[in-house]
């Protein structure tokens, strides 16, 4: 698999989440869209490590079940109910299930995303719309469905963004449009929901080893040229993104809202390598 290919060639930097406090997120309930795999599962692991209960939402029931088993193995309380974030009613049902199993949500991670390379003039209208629907509309649906909980818990939302939101990228017009929309949604909610004590931030990951996004953009073994372009000279581990997510979304980030936090090994300073 891409995961084993990546880990065979990539030394693990260290134990990125081992340094986190095991009580930092005690009493917190996190709802994570796209939480069954990739970066969002890394975030779920970090939250579990910090003592949070974790609710996973994704399209594939079996994938969620596997992730839930792993997180329970870490000692976390876990709930999951499959939903496509493009379907607001299904997403609401997944949120309702999470609340009934684990209690009110205090951290929402809007992480579900779709991506493929396509020329702007060649992709269908439906192709463009599909990515906007998953990334931007899905993020809005997740924020809205968890708002009543977040209002009660004075919680926070973390949007998973991408460099494409800020930097024009060939064959990523659909993704850039969707992620740029997410960045503004993040800021609008920070302003609008600040009075409820709800914080809203975005996290901008760079290339992360063993994720579907990387497989799609750099090929299953990763693109060495791209890797060399990263100032730190390697791709991230999902848990390295997760560790920063735990800091931003949890109590350590109590005065951080309307902000974007980049976790990209410095890649944004030197270009994407393409």
Compute how many other C-beta atoms are within 10 angstroms of the C-beta atom of residue 6.
21
Of the candidates 94, 214, 104, the one whose C-alpha atom is nearest the C-alpha of residue 151 is: 104
Q: Which of 37, 149, 156, 161 is catalytic?
A: 161
Q: Left, alpha or beta for 183 (phi > 0: left; psi -120 to 50: alpha)?
A: alpha
Nearest-approach distance from CB 179 to ligand HXC, in angstroms? 8
Q: Specify whether 179 is catalytic.
A: yes
Nearest-approach distance from CB 255 to ligand HXC, in angstroms? 28
Interaxial angle between packed helices 138-153 and 88-102, expressed in degrees from 0 to 180 and rounded to the nearest 10:
30
**C-alpha span between 196 and 143 (Å, rounded):** 14
Q: Read off the tokens for 52.
A: 């949070």
Nearest-approach distance from CB 114 to ligand HXC, in angstroms? 3
The CA angle 99-105-111, to the nearest 5 degrees, is: 110
Q: Which is nearer to ligand HXC, 42 or 114 (CB)?
A: 114
Secondary structure class of 104 (helix, strand, coil)? coil
DSSP bridge partners of 158: 109, 201
Residue pair 199/242 in contact (Cβ under 8 Å)? The answer is: no
Q: Which is nearer to ligand HXC, 87 or 104 (CB)?
A: 87
Q: Which of 94, 106, 149, 179 is catalytic?
A: 179
Q: Which is nearer to ligand HXC, 103 or 213 (CB)?
A: 213
Nearest-approach distance from CB 235 to ligand HXC, in angstroms? 10
Q: Which is nearer to ligand HXC, 16 or 36 (CB)?
A: 36
Q: Specify whether 161 is catalytic.
A: yes
Expressed in percent and rounded to 5, the helix, strand and coil fractions of the chain are 50, 15, 40
Nearest-approach distance from CB 237 to ligand HXC, in angstroms? 15
Give whole-number Cα distances, 257 to 197, 203, 223, 261, in Å. Answer: 10, 12, 35, 11
The binding site for ligand HXC (CB under 6 A) comprises: 113-116, 118, 123-124, 126-127, 130-131, 134, 162, 207, 212-213, 216-217
Q: Which is nearer to ligand HXC, 55 or 131 (CB)?
A: 131
Of the candidates 202, 93, 198, 97, the one whose C-alpha atom is nearest the C-alpha of residue 139 is: 202
Which residue numbers are catalytic? Answer: 161, 179
């Amino acid at each position: 698999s891409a995961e084993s290919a990546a880990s065979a060639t990539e030394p693990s930097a260290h134990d990125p989440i081992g340094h986190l406090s095991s009580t930092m997120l005690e009493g917190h309930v996190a709802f994570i869209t796209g939480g069954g795999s990739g970066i969002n599962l890394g975030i779920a692991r970090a939250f579990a490590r910090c003592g949070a209960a974790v609710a996973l939402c994704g399209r594939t029931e079996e994938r969620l079940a596997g992730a839930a088993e792993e997180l329970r193995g870490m000692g976390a309380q876990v709930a999951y109910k499959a939903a496509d974030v493009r379907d607001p009613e299904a997403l609401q049902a997944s949120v309702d299930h999470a609340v009934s199993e684990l209690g009110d949500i205090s951290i929402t991670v809007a992480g579900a995303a779709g991506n493929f390379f396509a020329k702007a003039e060649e992709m269908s209208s439906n192709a463009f719309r599909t990515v906007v629907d998953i990334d931007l509309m899905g993020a809005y649906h997740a924020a809205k469905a968890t708002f009543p909980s977040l209002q009660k818990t004075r919680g926070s939302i973390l949007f998973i963004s991408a460099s494409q939101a800020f930097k024009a990228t060939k064959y990523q017009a659909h993704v850039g449009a969707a992620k740029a929309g997410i960045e503004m949604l993040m800021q609008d909610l920070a302003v609008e929901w600040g009075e409820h004590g709800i914080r809203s931030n975005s996290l901008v990951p760079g290339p992360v080893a063993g994720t579907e996004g990387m497989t799609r953009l750099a090929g299953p073994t990763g693109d060495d040229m791209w890797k060399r372009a990263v100032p730190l000279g390697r791709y991230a581990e999902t848990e390295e993104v997760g560790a920063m997510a735990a800091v931003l979304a949890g109590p350590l980030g109590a005065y951080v809202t309307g902000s974007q936090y980049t976790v990209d090994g410095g890649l944004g300073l030197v270009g994407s390598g393409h």
